[in-house]
Chain A
């Protein structure tokens, strides 16, 4: 979290701020925001993904003058937003299969190009299962061809819609329906994990970023920047899931914030395969502050070795992305 202005009560830490010029507030603070994902959807109480999707798509709509088509992979977001015969999308939106959203988006972009509609842009979006597991082949292809699509992954760290099964984004130690802590088994295994943002960077695509629902200014800036670039782009947004994580619905933002402040979810940006910026931690926290609010980690809270291992992961991120450093004020009002 960056302090972008000095001394304006809450600065840019809140969604809006009456003391700031309007252009320094977020899109979400405006009365005119698009509400691309509108009410009546069936996401659970306190859904981080519903929030993340509205944040990102509203920012993208704002950046491209409302000329946008979204392609959606199967997953929570698709299911809760479009139970037949209702839709909560206020944008052109298409769903096809679980694993092919990047390929469908490639097709939409090609069709627009063929029709000469150069102003309309394409976003593909999905959860971590549809993106990092099932759709990963199509996604890699989309990157490799440098198709003019922004792919947004909403990462809630498991297959939540089908009943909380493990995905390759599920963190070590977490309990899911398929990784129950039984006997010696600690929940999800302590593996190396899979970091799709770093893999996307390995394709040398023009823009890759990670973002969080707990840092709205940063998220909107990244989406806006992504929409200003042509070619394949990837934004990975951390979206807590109260149901799957065993957390209070009111803790969604707090958890996303703690994931940043512990170092477990580093925020960074990369252009053409190189990291260009990382977001420093504002008030560093130990990992157990994050873990203890989630029942999926209840069984490891008294296991010092598990806590040490997870803290070591956080520490590695902190040193790798230089997350603990003097906060720079980027703009003084």
Chain B
């Protein structure tokens, strides 16, 4: 089952040959399965999609796997959506993937708190134009 899940994850989130590793090859199968278990109906969705994979799926090339997954998605979009959510959850919370995100985008690989970001002062001069246009609310009395 882990091999099929690894292949499924690699198809959903393939590597790009450069910065990004494929999700399955990155070793996220167990984590993705656990996160699916945490979701309402997630375990059933994961089991259903894995059961629907054809024999030999793990040995197929990426494009052929994608074709099969599109068919499975079309049969039951909600079920497939739960699997995608579990896959994305595992991938985008993985520390090594977060390192890559930091390197490519500047988003720091740390929690938002307690560090946060610098809170600059508001520049009131930005409001000169809108102030000059005057009131736009309707008085009622």
Q: Do A and B bind each other?
A: no
B interface residue numbers (CB < 8 A to A): none
